[in-house]
Each structure stands twice: as structure tokens, then as C-alpha cells.
Structure 1
Amino acid sequence: MVGRHLAARVPFLYWPVPVNPAPYGGARVIDGYTVLSWDAEFGRLSFVYPPLMGGWVSLNELAADVVSDAAAIVVLRPDWRVSKGPNLDALDLAEPYGPYRVLWEDLARVLGMPVPYWPINMRNPQEMLRWRPGIETVCAQAQHELNAGPLFQLAAAYSDDHPTSRTLRELAHIIVHRAFVEADRNLEYWSDYERPVARDVVFAAKPLPMPDPHENPLPQDVRESGWAEVFQREDTLAEQCVSAALQWNGGKHFPFSGVVHLEPEDEGSAVRVEWTSRLVDAPRDARYRVLSSRLEGRALQDPWTGLPVIGLADKAMIAAVPKHLPTVSPLHSIVLDGSVWIRTEDGQLFLAPAQWDGGNTWGYSGTGPTILAHLLDQLLGDISAPAPSTEVLGSSSATGLEALTETDFPHGTVITRQQLEEARNARSRAGGT
């Protein structure tokens, strides 16, 4: 009784070393927080693991809303200190001192035993509930914050050698491998510390090794074919796979590169009216999840490219951008009107192609105009050439066209093939004199 009375005045840091290890009171999951508790001599001490995806909450809020039955709480922070391990904050609830910073050795001293530690990506509350003092380290699969389950599930709907199955399984393997790498690296950090780890910390889990899928990557054409099949599906599982790829790398391996927003005020432009007039209604399949996470708007399709378009109620449009143009007709001209448009000699009109990591703009010195210059340089030679990525930045192969694309042309400007070739050749001649 005396000890518990003193707990109201003695900060956790000064609790005495117990004669015997403090009895472990088990673990609970409260509002996503995993709370492990010990009944120490001066009262209950609770060690709190925040949710992996949760934001940081003040210790006073935790004390009031999550762990109100403890005499003191210690919370694992997301940051680290060199030679000290992951940071820990403590708070005494009966008479708050702090919050204040403590060390793992402080916590282990008060408990009379090493403290359990779960690496990042292995803090599964259900697994943590099973832990008991003295239990052996378990080997389990690390979990990434991005759920790879839908990718594996949809892959199972196809034969193993189908491009869609191969594409989805590759991305799923990349995700689970990244989780393993992060958990394994998290454990390696401890080996760099100056003091013996075994005295203060017991590793509750280690990650199941996962082979590196980057050693045998799929060809890009297989990936694009696989995603093309997913895009034609109208089930929610396909949408979840599309969302997972967007979260992972922005849809880097999709058959189209990204989206462009056509603003309502540009509705009357001649080039947009021409392009819009050929759009047709289409079933709302998984492609449209790339354009918008919401289900509003009219589902349309460009019949010349097969790419999706959403028409919104305010006359704005969201359109997919091609990676290359599906035509053999040579470039005739470009139109700078809201977006960059390409017209071919047979009269076809397209949104200018782009890669997922770069778009086409003009009128200033920067990335967008530089990428546009390199695109035009390629299209002058091969209209079906893939759009350049940001890897071209720093290259001097299209300097003549860069001077052109950096010009602040008014919207509605048409630049002919002859003008493009003259701009390219003029800088080439200047560079050779």
C-alpha cells in the first residue's frame, strides 16, 4: 500500500529495481493501440505501441482515452536516436511529470526483465497479443502498410503463365519483399549500438526472408498487357489492384501514363470541341479508378486510342494520357491549347503522349517544356515513338526545340511540322558554328 501511495509522487524513472521481475499483465488492443502491461511495485506500467499507420497522439490524450488504468505509461515513438534505439516517451498519470524521454534500459530496469520489441512492419496486434515473457522469437511474414492481398487474389483468377497473373504477382512480391527489407533493416539498426542489446531488449519477432523479385523483372510489354486485362474488369477486386499500383508507383507500368484535367473554361476551344465530338460512352470498368477515386461523372472513351475519359457535371474532363500514339501517319502540327495536342497528316488528333514521371507544358524554363521538346524531337522521326521520361533532363539533343517550347505562346497556337524542324535545325546549325 505504501508503495502504491508513493507512486503518486515518484516519477516512473525513480521506481525501485524489483527483487523479482514484475508480473506481466498481458496485452490489449485499444483503439488500434497495442498496450502491454506489467504490475510493478509502484503500480501498473503500460508500454504502448501506436498503430503503424496512425498519427502521433500526445501522451496526455493516450492517458485519458486509452490507458487510464495505469500508474505510468511509456510510448514507442517513430523516431530513433543514435546508440539509444527507438525513442520512448513516458508519463506519470497520478501526478504527471512530463511527458519526458526515457531509455530502454530505464524501462527494463523498472520491469526487471528485457522489453519486447517488434520491428517495423511486424507490429501485427494479433501477433503481439500472443507474446509472453520468455517466449522464443517468432519468425513471421512482415506486412507492408500497402495490402498486397488483392493482387494475389486476382492473380489466382488466371493461369500462372497469363500476363495478368504474372504482372499482379510480380507487384505483390515486390511489396512483400519491401516489407521484409524494412523489418530486417530495422533489426540491424540495433547491432550498431554501443551497449549490449540483450540486457534491455528481447526481439519478439523476426521477418520471414523473401527473395528479391527485382532480379528477374518482367518485360514492360508483359506488364502493360497484364494491366490492360485488369482495366477491362468491372469488379471491385480489380479496382483494389489498380489502387494498390497507384499507391505503389503511380501506375508506372499501366498502358497509359496518367491523367490530364481539361478545365471547364476551355470547353469552347476548337481543338477540344473536335476531340470531344468523337468520344463515345463506355462501361465503367477498372480503368476509371485511375482517373478518379469517385464514381461521379460520365464514363467515356476515345475510340482512336481506347483510353478512358470522365466527363464531369461542370463540363470539366479527366482524360487518360497515352504513352505513345497508335498511328503511323507522320506528325503534321501541334496545338497548344489548354493541353498539348498532336495532329497527324491524316487529320487525326491526339493528346500528346507522356510518361508517368513527366508531363508536357510550355512557356517557361523547366521540366515540362524540356520533356515536350524531347517528345517533339522523337515524334518528328517516329510518330509512334514512346514518350520520353525525366531521364532526358540534362540532355542537349533537343536544345533547338527547347528554345521553342520555353516560349510563352498564347493558347490556341498552332505550330507546323516545318516550324518544328526549322527550330530544331536552327539550334543545330548555331551549335556547329
Structure 2
Amino acid sequence: MGLSTTYLGKAEIQELLGTSSFGMWRLPRQHGDFPEPETDIYRGPFDEEPDGPVWDAHDVYRWAARTPEFQHRGAVLLRPLPGQRQPGRFLGHQDTTHGPATDWHTGIGVIRMLHTDESHAASAMAVDLAAERNREIVTVCALYGDLNPVTGPALVAADTAQPRIEYEASWARVVKLAGQPLPWWPDLLRRSEVTRRWQPGSAAVTADVPATPREKTLRRAAANSAFSQTARAALTDMADDMRNDRVEDVARDIQTYGNHIASPERLVIAATHDARTHPIQLVKDDALLRQGWEEITRSTEPDAVEALDIALGRHPKLLPFGHFTHIPVTDNPVVERWTRRLALCDPTAGHATLAEDKTVDAFFTDPLTDMPVVRTKDDDENHAQWLFYVPLSLPAGRGELASIVLHGPVWITTTDGFVHPAPCTPGEHLWWGYAGGERPLELAHVVNVLLDNLGARITLNNYWDSAPDGLTTLFNKDHKRGTELTRAALLHARMTPPKSRR
């Protein structure tokens, strides 16, 4: 999050500082540190061009707080602390539209602490209070999403007298005004039902870490009796993994904020998670998990579609296919050889994640690799396309690699007459040409493996060490789209030593 940016013209500065137009003219002459007008102004798409010079309101407000003549009009929490302060006291919890809050009576008035790091929450709350003509609360503080190991959590403040001007404030200063350490809640436990259980002097309360919508989706799917025990175990395991991550986030925040404050008197941890039930033991057998996710991929259950969409983003290596690919429906010969063997089918969860919100013409399965394939319709906005996942491996026992064709994705032809999209891992896309970065190196590794074993399952582990120099050099060339490289050409390139050795 960041501070909101507000600009003040001459008339607004006069009103802020309570001075005349002549006084405004004298300000930079009497005070050499008075802020300069802004030259690089941020304007939104609907903001008008300012009429005359403008100043950053944040800079002017901070300047006033440190300038004796204008301190009473500057940022409240940046002014000198009042002398002979009475001890502050806790006034209780408040539920607000901007998150849970605690109010503190201090020697400068009531300070409201918003326990959120939502952007501009302090200003929005201060605007609400000013509209209500609340005379007691003088300033609103919200978390700034960072930590100063000396002063405590970073704060952003907005005063009800100038609610649209935000400025950075010190946690340590608010502690001095409150006369006691302030409570802090981990982000995932900043809920009203949790914060209200804390009172000054009480121990940290134990609270449940809430589940995300994605975790809930996986657990709902895991309760679906249409899935086998193996598939339900895979769904539960991914949900448990998410839960462990969230609990670890809470524990890490507590350790960071609880152990890295120079003065423990400034902060108390107000809530914690139940450490006795975590971490949840996860399944260690990846082969079993892959079996479960393969079933989910081929399922027609709506729960499977939502779960698979989550798995694609979280742990695609457990899924039975490689990266997503799309190519236009054209009359390219190599693509036609592949599409002729595709079999029409009813859609599965795998098809649904390919199609998403596109207009679909038909669903297919590649009978040799079991990969889902979707053909979209040709409409006014989009041309028809083939959407598919490349396989992780090609069928074993079906001849050898005969050639590769560089057309869109890389295509493999085999000695027994078949064409396949080149296998690859979920997160990569094979490519060629000088501008391909490391793609040619990855392609060289994959081709090197397939030349020896057409049915090998592709991984890119240590591809930079295993890719032959000659193949890498070959794929670094800017070949014309549609170029076919025969097995003989590939074997020759693989055996060609690098030029530096000559």
C-alpha cells in the first residue's frame, strides 16, 4: 500500500495554515525549508489540469508540524508531545466498514487504530468521522504493511481535521500517548470476532486461521462421493497444503513482529493460531497423488473442474499433461496429420480448463496420448483455434523419432507415421531461434532425450548440462517457420563438437 497523493493550491494552503495571501507570499521567504511547488504532478484520467502552482499536501502538512509558528495546524502525530501527559486508557473495540478498530484516549484526544493494511483506509475512516462531526477522535491510524525494528509496525495516519491528507506516523509515539503497549494481530486473524476477545493485560487468544475460497472448494470436492478414495485423498492433500501455508504465514508474522521489536513494551501479540494441530501431515507419495489428479482431470463432475483449475495454478506437476498451447485451425499439413486422428468426445474437467469462456465447436481426445483437445468456433472477434495441453511423454514402443517440425509448437514425427506435439513440462514452452532465450537449450535437451527413447517422460532437470552443444547451436538459428529437421540432421548436429574446441 502507499500514501494517497493530494495536492493543495495557494488558497488551500492559506486555509490549512490560517494565513493570508500576503502571508502565503512570505512563507518561502521566511522559511527556507518550505516545500517547493510540484513539477511532476500525478493526475488521474479524469483530473483537470491545476490552475496555478500546487504543493504536495503531505509535504506541507509535515512541514507545518515541525514549524513552531504552524505546529497547531500540522500533522497531529508529528507535533511535539504535550507535557505532563496523563496516562492514556483503552476505550474499547469498534467495528467499522474499514475493519476492526481499537480506540485510545490520550493527552491529544482519542486515537483510533484501524487494524488493517488496506490502502487509504486511514483517510477513508477520517473522512467518515469528519462527516459525522466527531469531535473526540483526532486522528486515525492504519497499518502500513511494514516493520521498523526500532519503533514498531509502520503506520499511516489521517487526522479528522484534514482527513484527505495521509502521512506516516510512529507506532512508538502512539504507544507513548496511549501509555501502554498496543495490540497487534497477524493479518489472517484481524477479524472482529477475534480482536474483541482481547483486553489490555490479557494473554494472546487462540483463533482459527480462516480457509480461503480455494481451500473450501477443494474440501467440498473431497467430500464428493463420485470420486475414488485416491482422488479424494489428492484433493484433501492439496487443501491441507494450503492450510499449512496459511498457518505458517501467521507463525512467521508472529515471530517477526514478536521477536524483532527493540522494546517489547511497545507491542503485544494479541492472537495466535493453534500450533497443536499444525502442520498437517501431507501425502509423501507423488505417484499416488498423480493418480488421483489424473482421475479428476478426466472427470465430468463440476467439482472436478473447479479443483483442476486450482491445481493448474498451484501444483501443475501433479497433473497428467504439459503446458497449454493454442494454434490456429489452418491447413498446415503437419497439424492436419495430428488432428485427423483426434476422437470426438464429451467434455471433461481437462477440456473445461482449456475452453474456459471461449465459444467451443467440439471436444476431442488424442487417442495415443489421452490429451484433451478443444476446437473453438470461428466468430467475428476470434479465428478458430486448437487448444490443447502437450503430453508429458509420447507413447512407448511406437518406433523412433523421425523428424521435428518447427511450426508454432514443436512437432515430432515418428518412424511409424504419427505426429505429436513435442512433450514438455507444464511450465515451459519449447522454441527455437536466437531470440528464444533458453528455449533452444531446453529444446535441445528434449530432442536429445527423444532421439534415444521416444517414450521417455520429459523433465527439464539440469537441461543446461545435458543439452548437446551441437543441438543447441542448431536450435539457436532462426529457422523458417515450418522447417523440418530429419533424424539424420539431428543426429549429425548432436555429434558436432562446439567451435571453441577446434
The verdict on a shared fold, with TM-score over 0.5 as the criterion, is yes
| 1:395 match | 465
Closer, same or farther in 2 for the Cα pair 1:379/1:118, shift >3 Å? same
Query: 1:225 & 1:173 partners in 2: Cα distance?
Result: 18
CA deviations 1:311-357 (Å, max 9, x no partner) are: 22321222111111124212121111111111112212111111123
- The unaligned stretches of length 5 or more in structure 1 are 1-5
| 1:271 match | 334
Q: CA deviation at 1:72?
A: 1.0
- Answering whether residue 334 of structure 2 is matched by residue 248 of structure 1, we say no
TM-score (norm 1): 0.84
Query: 1:278 & 1:201 partners in 2: Cα distance?
Result: 67
| 2:8 match | none
How many residues are paired up?
Answer: 417
| 1:92 match | 159
Q: Check the 8 A contact 1:7/1:42 in 2, yes or no.
A: no
- Is 205-214 or 234-243 further displaced after alignment? 205-214
- Answering whether residue 368 of structure 2 is matched by residue 320 of structure 1, we say no
| 2:221 match | 154
Please tell me the residue identity of whatever aligns with 2:325: V
Query: 1:127 & 1:299 partners in 2: Cα distance?
Result: 51
Query: 1:339 & 1:9 partners in 2: Cα distance?
Result: 63
- Answering whether residue 416 of structure 2 is matched by residue 346 of structure 1, we say yes
Query: 2:226 & 2:344 partners in 1: Cα distance?
Result: 32
The structure with more radius of gyration: 2
Share of identical aligned residues, percent?
24
Q: CA deviation at 1:299?
A: 4.8
Query: 1:57 & 1:40 partners in 2: Cα distance?
Result: 24
Query: 2:267 & 2:130 partners in 1: Cα distance?
Result: 23
Q: CA deviation at 1:23?
A: 4.1
| 1:309 match | 373
Query: 1:126 & 1:289 partners in 2: Cα distance?
Result: 39
- Is 395-404 or 131-140 further displaced after alignment? 131-140
| 1:49 match | 115
Closer, same or farther in 2 for the Cα pair 1:202/1:98, shift >3 Å? same
CA deviations 1:245-292 (Å, max 9, x no partner) are: 23324x22111122012136xx22111223233334333332134325
Alignment root-mean-square deviation, CA = 3.3
- The unaligned stretches of length 5 or more in structure 2 are 1-70, 378-382
- Is 330-339 or 110-119 further displaced after alignment? 110-119
Q: How does 1:207-246 map to 2 (within 5 A)?
A: 207-209=273-275, 211-212=278-279, 217-219=284-286, 221-246=287-312
Q: What secondary structure, in the 3-state scheme, does the structure 2 residue paired with 1:260 have?
A: strand
Query: 1:43 & 1:26 partners in 2: Cα distance?
Result: 17
Closer, same or farther in 2 for the Cα pair 1:186/1:292, shift >3 Å? farther
Query: 1:204 & 1:189 partners in 2: Cα distance?
Result: 14
Q: CA deviation at 1:306?
A: 1.9
- Answering whether residue 484 of structure 2 is matched by residue 414 of structure 1, we say yes
- Is 94-103 or 9-18 further displaced after alignment? 9-18
Q: What secondary structure, in the 3-state scheme, does the structure 2 residue paired with 1:185 have?
A: helix
Q: CA deviation at 1:414?
A: 1.4
Please tell me the residue identity of whatever aligns with 2:114: V
Q: How does 1:33-432 map to 2 (within 5 A)?
A: 33-40=99-106, 42-50=108-116, 56-57=119-120, 59-64=122-127, 70-95=137-162, 99-143=166-210, 147-157=214-224, 162-193=229-260, 195-197=262-264, 199-209=265-275, 211-212=278-279, 217-219=284-286, 221-249=287-315, 251-263=316-328, 267-294=330-357, 296-304=359-367, 305-313=369-377, 314-329=383-398, 330-364=400-434, 366-389=437-460, 391-427=461-497
Please tell me the residue identity of whatever aligns with 2:420: F
Q: CA deviation at 1:188?
A: 1.6
Q: CA deviation at 1:378?
A: 0.7
Query: 2:127 & 2:356 partners in 1: Cα distance?
Result: 36
